[in-house]
Structure 1
Amino acid sequence: MDKNTWPIALLFAGAAVGGSYLSGYEWLRFFAFFGTWGAIGIVLTGIGLAWFGSTVLAYCHRHQIGSLHELICRWFNEAVAPGISVLTHLLLLSYAGAMIGSFVLHLTGGTFTWLFVFVIVLAAALLLLRGWTLLVSSAALSLAGGFLLFALLFLEQRHVPIPSLGYQLNGYWIIHALSYLGLHSLLCLMLTIPLAKRARGEATVRFGVYAGSAGFLVFALLGQAVLLAHWHDVHNTLTPVTAILERLSPLGSWLHALLSLLHIAVIAAALVFALAQPLSKRHHLQLVPLLLLLFGFILVFALLATAFPSSFTFIATGATYCGFLLLVRALFLQRKSP
């Protein structure tokens, strides 16, 4: 098996579930609110991630495209491609920072937020500077720990209520599922395109994407079941998993916090590396100073999100529309090809 298979699977799964997936808020907002329709949305989102990821990453491997910037330049004409690329990358970096700031704000309740933000950004920088192997191993650890956590919470339940299809019988669940797909498919591409270029073959790329998508389905469906089982306790909280753990075990909530910090640092570090490496080669820049500059950018937006929490929503919405643009372009090219 190609050595790039599991890094692709791990980073694809990590980006698909999201940097702050251990808080449970994204799944609560996008899926659990819609009951059984939300579970259907999870399945459709997983299928969409698998199709889009395998199609685009196989295309990148076939044409030796090594970055999201190169993909955008190949898919769009030279008049608009640079603008789309700059906007997309700025939004992704801003999203990484706002994600950290928003997560810390919810986790700490506004106490020493700047300190926790600095710790996460510093941890991300150290992970990246210590090497790619440590980063991938950390991704595996955070995902394995998350799976164990959700599996234990699921097994602890004697009954998981399944709402009838008459509950939330509207089209909002489709809109939320598509929004999740647009944002997280963009994150998946950003993190895994460099690996797809170096893979041994298209089969390796597709296997990694399918494994990562299957991981997303397992995580999201377990999370859906846990949230539904504790619905009356978590439906109006910003940190539902933390609320569940605080009722069950104070020690468990601390371990959960540490695991959450690790995962969000891994995603931020992988995103910075995926942007910095091709940028340094394209413009002949030194990699380490560029990495530090990008982490500084993330730190600024993380602190901004703690001061202005609504900024996270605006940034995430912008990144989602960029993801939609790539999804529509992929569909168009797929239909156009013989």
Structure 2
Amino acid sequence: MDKVAWQIAVLFAGSTLGGFYLGGYEWLRFFTYFGSWGTIGIALAALGLGWFGVQLLTFCHRKQIHSLYELYYVLFGEAFASSLSVITHILLLGYTGVMLGQQADFLLEELSPLWFILLTIAAIFFIINRWRWIVTATAISLSVGLLLFGLIFTAQSHVPIPSLGYQLNVNWLIHAVFFLALHFLIGLATTLPLALRASHERAVRMGAIIGAGIFLLFTMLGQAILLAHWHDAHASVLPIKQILVQMMPGGDWLLAILSLLHGGVIIAALLYSLTHPIATRQHLQMLPLIVVMLLAIFVFSLLTLVVPWSMSAIASAATYCGMFLMGWYVWKHQN
């Protein structure tokens, strides 16, 4: 496989899963609550990620688009490009911050004050070493995560398959679309700069498809694990932690270390993707920009402590932003 295609696949999979996927909260909320319909929702979300990934990343490769600002410039025109780009940047940083705040509160309570510092150190380390280290670390993190999920899955004697009569409504489809919109926005923002490194569109297309396939593998494993432990984990904010603590001593520490690695590298990838085009276009140094964005993430992570409903509000705003971008692209493409 082409080197750039592999890089796109790894980063697209890692970013669409999310920096905090190991906790399992989003999978539980968007998919597992809906039983077998949630499993169908996972398949549809993976198909959507693959299709939109191929469409928009090849579009950016073809038009030589380096950043979200340039993408908005092409899709919406000069009048709206700057404001939409700023809003998207704020929402991405805000979502990262509120998810970080939630994870810090529940992953290891005794390390909660240090969690942001540890993630910041990890993120800066990967940013300094740029794409090669970021992609390699993402690949290692995904491999370890897959091994962990595989071990949990093989320890199960039975995975229940809920009846299709359970949750027989459209809520599962709505949640699948919401998940798709939110996580595609993160994946696009993170992976977009790599699309320009490909020598041809086929590499970009292959990377997006394989990345969506990796996403599908992880989410299906996660769905099976959560269904098998439904009674133990359905009310937990971090269901995978709940399962690991019951399975092995030190399970919470194992999850914390893996979450630190994956969260740090995905935050690094997102920040590098957001700051590098700005620094290049405005002739600025990257380090001050990265520090400002890290401070913004920190502020948003504290916001959840002061205003608990801010997490839902920011996540919803980022979701609608992604939905708007996908819908506008489809409309422009058809016209």
TM-score, reference length from structure 2:
0.97
Aligned to 2:303: 304
Distance 2:111 2:10 in 1: 32
Aligned to 1:159: 158
Q: Note the alpha carbon deviations across 1:227-272, whole angstroms, 9 max, x for none.
A: 0000000111111000001111023332221001111111111111
Q: How many residue pairs align between the two structures? A: 335
Q: Note the alpha carbon deviations across 1:298-331, whole angstroms, 9 max, x for none.
A: 2222233344332221111111111001110121
SS of the counterpart of 1:250? coil
Aligned to 2:6: 6
Q: Note the alpha carbon deviations across 1:163-193, whole angstroms, 9 max, x for none.
A: 0100000110011000000100101110111
Deviation for aligned residue 1:290: 1.9
| 197 and 131 in structure 1: CA distance in 2 versus 1, 3 angstrom threshold | closer
Matches within 5 A, 1:216-227: 216-227=215-226
Is 1:176 the counterpart of 2:175 in the alignment? yes
Deviation for aligned residue 1:80: 2.2
CA RMSD of aligned residues (A): 1.3
Aligned to 1:187: 186
What letter matches 1:295 in structure 2? L
Aligned to 1:317: 316
Deviation for aligned residue 1:116: 1.4
Distance 1:158 1:229 in 2: 9
Distance 1:44 1:334 in 2: 21
Matches within 5 A, 1:1-338: 1-109=1-109, 111-336=110-335
Distance 1:7 1:302 in 2: 29
Q: Do 1:94 and 1:315's aligned partners in 2 also have CA atoms closer than 8 Å?
A: yes
Structure 1 gap segments, 5+ residues each: none
Deviation for aligned residue 1:288: 2.0
Q: Do 1:2 and 1:200's aligned partners in 2 also have CA atoms closer than 8 Å?
A: no
Q: Do 1:100 and 1:120's aligned partners in 2 also have CA atoms closer than 8 Å?
A: no
SS of the counterpart of 2:166? coil
What letter matches 2:101 in structure 1? G
SS of the counterpart of 2:284? coil
Distance 2:102 2:26 in 1: 12
User: In terms of mean alpha carbon deviation, does 10-19 or 27-36 score higher?
Assistant: 10-19
Distance 1:144 1:328 in 2: 33
Q: Do 1:125 and 1:292's aligned partners in 2 also have CA atoms closer than 8 Å?
A: no
What letter matches 1:162 in structure 2? I
Distance 1:315 1:263 in 2: 22
Distance 1:163 1:329 in 2: 36
Distance 1:216 1:105 in 2: 26
What letter matches 1:22 in structure 2? L
Distance 1:329 1:181 in 2: 15
Structure 2 gap segments, 5+ residues each: none
Distance 1:326 1:285 in 2: 28
User: In terms of mean alpha carbon deviation, does 284-293 or 186-195 score higher?
Assistant: 284-293
Q: Note the alpha carbon deviations across 1:130-155, whole angstroms, 9 max, x for none.
A: 33222111111111111111111111
* Sequence identity (%): 49
Distance 2:136 2:254 in 1: 18
Q: Do 1:10 and 1:140's aligned partners in 2 also have CA atoms closer than 8 Å?
A: yes
What letter matches 1:33 in structure 2? Y
SS of the counterpart of 1:130? helix
Q: Do 1:45 and 1:177's aligned partners in 2 also have CA atoms closer than 8 Å?
A: yes
Deviation for aligned residue 1:295: 1.7
**Which runs of 4 or more aligned residues in structure 1 lie more than 4 Å from their structure 2 counterparts after TM superposition?**
none
Q: Note the alpha carbon deviations across 1:46-93, whole angstroms, 9 max, x for none.
A: 000000000000000011001111101110032222211111111111
User: In terms of mean alpha carbon deviation, does 213-222 or 98-107 score higher?
Assistant: 98-107
Q: Do 2:2 and 2:203's aligned partners in 1 also have CA atoms closer than 8 Å?
A: yes
Distance 2:294 2:265 in 1: 13
